[in-house]
Structure 1
């Protein structure tokens, strides 16, 4: 008989911080349905393992609030499918032919991938295509999801937000930042009848990348 392992509260904490950027112990306790005392024990363990870090925010004359977020080591626990081998390969190519040639190679790679996305998302409704695109990204190691947005002052036209809470090529992006621009272009090619714009960007220090997709 196969025993089913209970879900780990520590993993739940890491997942929550990955999606929301930062949180206090009290917020984590409320959202995960765990006592504040238990949450603080888990946070202490995760800090000891260097998976999270915290900063204090002073509000008024009372005790400061402590906000917890993932450390670089904590983020690296999430899928990074391409990083290690691909970065080494790109560095080798750069040493051989130069960084400018590597940029050209990366552009050609993303153009090819974009056309592959377009073929796989098909020609259904925009919601179906966005859903399929997110599933393709999830298969590549991205913690991705989507949700619909109604027309409002913030979004004059209704559409969909694609959110990615991790970067499966984060180490590559640090050495070759042009790949981030190519990702936006990829989505535009994959959804040719849509306008795609970036709403959030991990490169700018935010905890997620976000893309707004609207029909033209």
Structure 2
């Protein structure tokens, strides 16, 4: 295997753990279609680089299994468009004009972003607009995806409820220092989908491995 192939496989492992939160070596090998021996070599390298960590979990009568997940350093490998500069800028603004004024500025920013999204989403079906929203978020560095909510009754499958997931936060540094931006994100999604009710189901800032939203037609 070439160095480029090894690098690509390691990135695939990191992306899988980002989406699934955690996995054992065997599951990773099956998902990525490589041998258990190869996956263990990659996991050992990633652990040495500080990008992943593991805990030993007993599974039945056999030996404990190593369950792998991303470390904070591993999460930081994924796109973060604003980073420390944005946090520093907001800190400077807070010192200059006060936290209330910074909150007003952030609110104006999401309102402007909402107007931009509304124009780009158009007037299609709810599924088409959610798909376009996810595409826009992906272009901004979010590892986003969406899917319809399955009905418990197969004969009554719903077409007006969707889950939007973001497996990373492209503005994580900002969100940690100014958590109000997460509230603005929720308000923004509701504003660009005015015919829907939008609820947060998961939140990275509360220790969960993704941000998730339930979008349902009113």
* TM-score (normalizing by structure 1): 0.91
2: CA distance, partners of 1:193 / 1:7: 44
2:27 paired with 1:31 = no
Q: Cα RMSD over matched residues?
A: 2.0
Offset at residue 120 of structure 1 (A): 1.3
Q: Which residue of 2 aligns with 1:177?
A: 179
Q: Which residue of 1 aligns with 2:49?
A: 49
SS in 2 for 1:124: coil
Offset at residue 65 of structure 1 (A): 1.6
Q: Is the contact between residue 54 and residue 68 of structure 1 (CA under 8 Å) also seen in structure 2?
A: yes
- Residues 139 and 157 of structure 1: CA distance in aligned 2, closer, same or farther (over 3 Å): closer
Q: How many residues are aligned here? A: 212
Q: Which residue of 2 aligns with 1:11?
A: 11
* TM-score (normalizing by structure 2): 0.90
Post-superposition CA distance 1:165-199 (Å, at most 9, x none)? 10001011110011111111110001000111112
Q: Which residue of 1 aligns with 2:163?
A: 161
SS in 2 for 1:50: coil
Q: Is the contact between residue 126 and residue 160 of structure 2 (CA under 8 Å) also seen in structure 1?
A: no
Q: Which runs of 5+ in 2 are unaligned?
A: none
2: CA distance, partners of 1:89 / 1:195: 33
1: CA distance, partners of 2:7 / 2:164: 27
Within 5 Å, which residues of 2 pair with 1:79-94? 79-94=79-94
2:117 paired with 1:109 = no
SS in 2 for 1:8: helix
Q: Which residue of 2 aligns with 1:22?
A: 22
Offset at residue 152 of structure 1 (A): 3.5
Q: Is the contact between residue 83 and residue 172 of structure 2 (CA under 8 Å) also seen in structure 1?
A: yes
Q: Is the contact between residue 150 and residue 158 of structure 1 (CA under 8 Å) also seen in structure 2?
A: no
Offset at residue 156 of structure 1 (A): 8.0
Post-superposition CA distance 1:90-128 (Å, at most 9, x none)? 111111122222112111111121122112111111111
2:205 paired with 1:193 = no
SS in 1 for 2:23: coil
- Residues 156 and 147 of structure 1: CA distance in aligned 2, closer, same or farther (over 3 Å): closer
Offset at residue 81 of structure 1 (A): 0.8
